[in-house]
Amino acid sequence: MDGFRELTIGEVARRAGVATSSIRCYERIGLLPQPERTHGQRRYGTEVLGKLGFIGVAQSAGFKLREIKELIDGVDSADGMGEQMRSLSSRKLEEVEALLERTKAMKGWLETAKQCGCASPTECALFPVPGEEAADADWSLRVVQVKGDDCRRPPAA
């Protein structure tokens, strides 16, 4: 059913929803294996679609291609989906959880900004001004503190 390996790069690109140039690029950097060839042209089996799908998901979650390569290599080479896979996933999970938090913070900021009625950044809590001593102001955390739909800066008490 899928041992035919008869898909051309163009067909793979169409079905996976990526550009042929991306596929060749992935091959170049070792993300995809060298496929078999007919008349010099790449021939793929359908399993490459799964791999491309995985690459897409991982990418959209913020993995770099190098990291995706690590993941794929771990799965392909080691003892099945062994320790390598699990430890990589554990490590990545922490990063993804951090990304999740940051993304939630951004969402909050944008929701406030969407309905902000402030006349200028000077009066708006979305745009804080650091104190004299603030050497390492943590802007992203300050922004998270903006809640509700009133983003006016509290009158500096």
Partner DNA sequence: ATCGCCCTTGAACTGCGCTTCAAGTCAAGG
Partner DNA sequence: CCTTGACTTGAAGCGCAGTTCAAGGGCGAT
**Which of 43, 54, 44 lies closest to 76, judged by CA?**
54
Shortest CB 3 distance to a second copy, Å: 12
Nearer to a second copy, 102 or 147 (CB): 102
Dist. CA 39–CA 101, nearest whole Å: 50
Residue 135 binds a second copy, judged by CB under 8 A: yes
Question: Among 6, 33, 36, 41, which residue interacts with DNA (rule: CB under 7 A)?
Answer: 41
Dist. CA 49–CA 21, nearest whole Å: 15
Dist. CA 6–CA 17, nearest whole Å: 18
Q: By the 8 A CB rule, do 15 and 54 touch?
A: no
Contacting range for DNA; rule: CB under 7 A; set: 14-22, 91-99, 111-119, 120-128: 14-22
* Residue 75 burial (10 A CB sphere; 0-12, 13-18, 19+): middle
Question: Among 27, 62, 70, 84, which residue interacts with a second copy (rule: CB under 8 A)?
Answer: 62
- In the complex, the residues that contact a second copy under the rule CB under 8 A are 2, 14-17, 46-47, 49-51, 53-54, 56-58, 60-63, 75-76, 80-81, 85-86, 89-90, 92-93, 96-97, 99-100, 102-107, 109-111, 113-116, 118-121, 124, 126-130, 132, 134-137, 139-140, 142-143
